[in-house]
Amino acid sequence: SQKIEQNSEALNIQEGKTATLTCNYTNYSPAYLQWYRQDPGRGPVFLLLIRENEKEKRKERLKVTFDTTLKQSLFHITASQPADSATYLCALGNLDGSGNTGKLIFGQGTTLQVKP
């Protein structure tokens, strides 16, 4: 069955450093991959989408890579700040026969703690 693995252990880093989170998947060939941020008591918030034919995507201090051969995505936050502390979820999706996006399969998430 389809499986998405994110590091279940919390990632603790110092402010100003680059945080790197990993998302690995098996038994799936997604057309796109997304990253979401979730704060305690709130719903996930969309951050970035990367398609299978894209290797890398950037948005401000965020960078996502997508390696369909390794079946892995890396999510980087550069110059991290305490405000970046949250749980980050990886999600995979596919297109239907009409090219529409649809349902997502989510990983369990990795909690990032940025210390001042």
Partner 1 sequence: DARVTQTPRHKVTEMGQEVTMRCQPILGHNTVFWYRQTMMQGLELLAYFRNRAPLDDSGMPKDRFSAEMPDATLATLKIQPSEPRDSAVYFCASGRDRGGEQYFGPGTRLTVT
Q: Which residues bind partner 1 (CB under 8 A)?
A: 32, 34, 42-46, 49, 89, 93, 99-109
CB of 29 to partner 1, least distance (A): 16
Nearer to partner 1, 11 or 105 (CB): 105
Nearer to partner 1, 45 or 70 (CB): 45
> CA geometry: angle at 102 spanning 21 and 76, to 5°?
15
Three-class SS state of 76: strand
Rounded Cα gap, residues 55 and 64, in angstroms: 8
Under 8 Å between Cβ of 72 and 23: yes
CB of 15 to partner 1, least distance (A): 28
CB of 106 to partner 1, least distance (A): 4
Nearer to partner 1, 109 or 114 (CB): 109
Helix/strand number for the chain, H first, E second: 0, 11
